[in-house]
Each structure stands twice: as C-alpha cells, then as structure tokens.
C-alpha cells in the first residue's frame, strides 16, 4: 500500500482528481453511485447518447463543459472525490476504464436524467469529511477537475488507505434500463411535452410551478379523459392550505366525498420529493388515501402510509414501467 507522500506525488504527476456530485442536501443519490460502482452525469433525456458536436451546440455551457471532460479527459486510474451538497465529501473512488457509456437504467435518479455513466470503484468514508462551503466553488458543477491543494492532499491520503482494496476489487455488472414506449393515447402529449422540455427545461430556464400546472399537468389530465370542470386549481381541503391540483369524479366540487386525485406540484430542479410531508398532510385532511408529486417531468404516486413511492413515471423517454402511474391518474371508469 503506498504511503500518503508517494500517493500525492503520483497523483500530481500521473493521476488527475475529479469531484463527482451526488446531489444537493436533501436530494442526494450517493447510494446509487456506491451500489452500482458508477459516476453519473446528465442531462441525457433530450439529446440522448453523447455526440460532442450536438451537445456543444444545444446544451447549456454549465452542462456541456462537465460532459466534455467526463467523456474526453478522464482516464483509467484517475481518482474521484464524491461530493454531496457544498460541504460534504463522502467517498474516494478509482476510475476504471476509458470508455463511458449511456445507460437508461439511470434515467430517473432522484428525478434527474443521469444516463452518462463512468465506472468507479468507491470506498465510502465512515463519516463525511466536512469542507468549507467555497472549497468546490460557490455553485459547484456536478463534475469537474480538482485543483485545490487541500483536496489533492485529501484524495492522496484517503486513496493511500484503500488502494490495495480498490485495486483488487471487480466492478458490479450493470443492468440496462427499460426500453422506451409510446402509447397511442399519449403520443401527441408525449411529443408536445418533449418539445416543451427541450426548449424550456433543457435550457436551464426558470420555470414556475404555475407553468408546470398549465403546460404539463392539466394537458396530461385532459389527455387521460378528465374534463376541465373536474379539475380544480389551488383547491382548499377545508383549511387555509391549498392543494395545487385536485381532480373530482363529478363536475360539482361540492359533491360528497373527497377528490379522486390530489397533485402537489414543484418547479423543475426543486427536490419535489421533499414535499412529501406537506402533500401527505393535505391528502389525509381531504380524505384521500394516496396523492401525486410532480415537477411535470417526473411523477411519483404515494400512499399516505409510506414515504416510498408506489409508482413512478417520466414524461421523457417514457417506459412501460410508467404505465402503472398513468393508469392511476385516469378517471376510475376508464382505468
């Protein structure tokens, strides 16, 4: 096993060190990286497999630059520091192989499309290493090279401790994601949404919750057979609380019984899954056994009894697995 001094000299002379984001606090996906021996980067839904010319022309600079480094500069044997939020370093890793891949298995990681994949053998720390909030920059990208002396020394020191173990391990085999499908009834909706996503979501523009309701949620409900008169926006279950979207089985919103569907909406890039407690409280007050959370792009169905989703769907690269959630959104007589 190399000592720290030897490892640091080797790191400076031969290896490069990269920071790999594993999500912000409250929406981290470090276990996905650890459990699959991967580093992940996005976006992947709109532009698909890596084509440098296409991504350079159509992706935002904040996405294009990390992806170019991810595909063209990382080499077998480079080191990785896994970062969560701005201040936590979670693991040291060793990049394996020179060929990244595109895998739809990672098309929905905490709501992100992270299909760009590199293989990394990780060794997690017993406890996160806390660094200053500006160590990785005021607004860290999901992936970039490390130059700070402190982080280079940290990578060398931690790698020296686990080098023998990492270099003797084998990578776990990866599955492939579910194939995409295009149900006939959803064809027009999915194609229109793909255009909207590519021009708005995909360009890092600010999108409000009201826009998500207008351009994504209500059109989907209409497509599935609900009438406008059955769809209530900013509906109150009886208190001052207001649910973003409530859907009723009859045109009269004063009919006996709770709404058939409650939907809480968050704007893209917000951790909408963190809104579970609020939405669950609304559903219980309204007498609904389940509810939905969405940012228009990703959907989750939840029971009021569990924080684990009972169904998931993505409206870009729609798969057969998403059909269960769509069926739960239908009017009962059509489900």
Across the 335 residues of the chain, what is the mean pLDDT of every consecutive 10-residue run? 54 82 89 97 90 90 92 96 95 96 90 93 97 86 92 95 94 86 91 83 70 94 94 82 89 71 86 79 88 92 89 86 91 69
Both 23 and 160 in a single domain?
yes
CA dihedral over 9, 11, 12, 15, signed as positive or negative: positive
> Residue 24 domain-assigned?
yes
Q: Which domain holds residue 77?
A: 4-168
The C-alpha atoms of residue 30 and residue 76 are separated, in whole angstroms, by: 21
Question: Looking at residue 196, what is its pLDDT?
Answer: 84
Question: Looking at residue 320, what is its pLDDT?
Answer: 81
Task: Respond yes or no on whether the N-terminal peptide bond of residue 43 is cis (omega within 30° of 0).
Answer: yes
Question: Looking at residue 297, what is its pLDDT?
Answer: 87
Both 94 and 17 in a single domain?
yes
Q: What CATH number is associated with residue 296?
A: 3.90.1570
> Residue 334 domain-assigned?
no
Among 120, 138, 168, identify where a domain stops.
Answer: 168
Question: Looking at residue 255, what is its pLDDT?
Answer: 55
Q: What CATH number is associated with residue 70?
A: 3.10.590
Neighbours of 13 (CB within 10 A): 7
The C-alpha atoms of residue 111 and residue 197 are separated, in whole angstroms, by: 14
Domain count, the chain: 2
């Amino acid at each position: 096993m190399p000592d720290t001094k030897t490892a640091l000299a080797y790191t400076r002379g031969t290896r490069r060190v990269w920071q790999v984001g594993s999500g912000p606090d409250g929406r981290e996906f470090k276990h996905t990286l650890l459990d699959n021996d991967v580093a992940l980067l996005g976006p992947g839904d709109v532009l698909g497999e890596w084509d440098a010319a296409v991504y350079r022309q159509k992706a935002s600079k904040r996405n294009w630059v990390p992806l170019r480094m991810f595909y063209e500069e990382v080499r077998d044997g480079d080191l990785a520091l896994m970062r969560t939020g701005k201040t936590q370093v979670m693991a040291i890793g060793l990049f394996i192989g020179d060929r990244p891949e595109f895998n739809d298995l990672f098309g929905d990681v905490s709501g992100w499309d992270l299909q760009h994949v590199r293989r990394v053998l990780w060794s997690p720390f017993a406890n996160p290493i806390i660094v200053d909030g500006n160590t990785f920059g005021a607004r860290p990208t999901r992936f970039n090279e490390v130059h700070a002396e402190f982080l280079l020394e940290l990578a060398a020191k931690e790698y020296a401790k686990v080098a023998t173990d990492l270099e003797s391990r084998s990578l776990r085999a990866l599955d492939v994601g579910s194939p995409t499908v295009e149900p006939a009834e959803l064809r027009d909706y999915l194609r229109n949404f793909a255009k909207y996503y590519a021009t708005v979501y995909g360009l890092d523009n600010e999108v409000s919750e009201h826009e998500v309701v207008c351009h994504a949620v209500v059109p989907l409900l209409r497509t599935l057979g609900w009438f406008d008169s059955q769809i209530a926006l900013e509906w109150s279950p009886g208190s001052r609380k207001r649910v973003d979207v409530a859907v009723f089985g009859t045109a009269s919103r004063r009919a006996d019984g709770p709404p058939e569907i409650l939907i809480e909406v968050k704007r893209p890039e917000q951790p909408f899954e963190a809104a579970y407690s609020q939405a669950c409280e609304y559903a219980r007050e309204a007498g609904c056994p389940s509810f939905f959370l969405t940012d228009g792009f990703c959907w989750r169905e939840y029971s009021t009894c569990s924080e684990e989703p009972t169904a998931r769907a993505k409206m870009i690269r729609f798969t057969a697995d998403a059909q269960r959630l769509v069926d739960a959104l239908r009017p009962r007589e059509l489900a």
